Amino acid sequence: MGKRILFLFSDTGGGHRAATNAIIEALDLEFPGEFKADKIDFLRYYSPTPLRYSPELYPPLSRMRMTWKVSYEAANGPMRSRAVNKLTYPYLRRSAKRLLEENPADLIVSVHPLANAVIPRVMRRNPIPFVTVVTDMVSTHAFWYSPAADMILVPTYQAKNRGLRLGIPSSRIKVVGQPVSPMFGEIPETKEQLKKEHGWGKPVVLLVGGGDGMGPVRRVARAINESELPVTLAVICGRNEELYADLTKLKWKIPHFLYGFTSEMPRYMKAADIFVTKAGPGSISEAFICGLPIVLYSYLPGQEIGNVDYVLDGHAGTFAPDPTSVVEAIRLLVEDETAREEMSTASLKLARPDAAREIARLLAQQLE
């Protein structure tokens, strides 16, 4: 086994882990057996209290929309972010040193904004290459952009421009796209073959709420059911067992399929005709690759608000902020096949299916 790459992420939402897994998967495909890739939830295992409870605190805090928005914006500027990093460094230093001592590596890859200031500072006397992979699409926080990073990989030109405004040299920021599993671009079966495999019929609406089944998925599913639209509804409940149980008891009026947490998302998405989701960057990027018209029903204030504009400006979807609007958006796409096809084409134009593989190649170059 060759050189070791250490990925730092945290389960504050599913996106950081998913992006990390996608890059590791791409490394194995591009350079089989050449690197040893390890991943650590650094907040859970190498942070003092209360930060170590961040994965548990994230879901309830993110549902407090105004509180989340205010706290997100409070440190989202060059002077404010530097001040916060300076104040918190003494509090985080010991845990960060222990992380590095217990996990020696040849390259560190941060896939979380809170690792980008403290880790390079702790490594100042014994530096090793440090790369940041930004997993927010457009509305990127200042914490993502450390001047000590050797390279910062971003999903969009909007994210690059944000880094430039924060003083990062252009040569150290590369636009690569959002890292998602290479499987999304490598499914050989046709849409019809996959529908038959899943037992799906009619136009298929795929409704998701992320890995944790967050957002108003229950209300949206109920509204689609009550509308009695001529669709098949597939709902991905993720790890939300309460949501799955509740929808199981619903008196269904339309063909439906319910799923818990699954590793089959690439096949489900390629089989679908319309994708209904919150504005998470990973889900949006996966939908682009699958050429899906997107109906966005919500966004997390702060880091996801720009994603809505990105989808709308690219003509790849629509924003429907309540269940009634979602139903009407689906109705229009079902009734107007031309509009659905145009939106699908626009979605494909925004796709970057090779992002994870490109990131893998760039990481390998850092170790040459």
Q: What is the pLDDT of residues 66-90, one digit of tens each?
A: 888 888 899 998 999 999 999 999 9
SS3 category, 39: strand
Q: What pLDDT is stored for residue 215 in this prediction?
A: 65
Strands 107-110 and 4-9: parallel
pLDDT in tens, 189-246: 999 999 999 999 889 999 998 655 556 899 999 999 999 999 999 999 988 899 999 9
Give all domains of the chain, ordered by start, each with its CATH number: 4-178+353-366 (3.40.50.2000), 183-349 (3.40.50.2000)
Backbone phi, psi, residue 118, to 5°: -70, -40
Among the residues of 228-273, which ranges form H helices?
241-248, 265-271
Q: What pLDDT is stored for residue 203 in this prediction?
A: 95
Q: What pLDDT is stored for residue 214 in this prediction?
A: 58
Check pLDDT > 80 for residue 131: yes
pLDDT in tens, 176-192: 999 999 999 899 999 99
Check pLDDT > 80 for residue 1: no
Check pLDDT > 90 for residue 61: no
Alpha carbon separation from 341 to 151, 275, 338 (Å, rounded)? 38, 13, 5
Name residue, tokens 């407090």.
64
Measured distance CA(217)–CA(234) in Å, rounded: 12
Q: What pLDDT is stored for residue 116 in this prediction?
A: 96
Cβ atoms within 10 Å, residue 348: 16
For residue 156, what are its two tokens? 């969009």
For residue 360, what are its two tokens? 């893998």
Measured distance CA(213)–CA(235) in Å, rounded: 10
CB 113 within 8 A of CB 43: no
SS3 category, 189: coil
- Cα end-to-end distance, the chain, whole Å: 15
Say what percent of the chain tops pLDDT 70: 98
The mean pLDDT value of the chain amounts to 94
pLDDT in tens, 269-319: 999 999 999 999 999 999 999 999 999 999 999 899 999 999 999 999 999
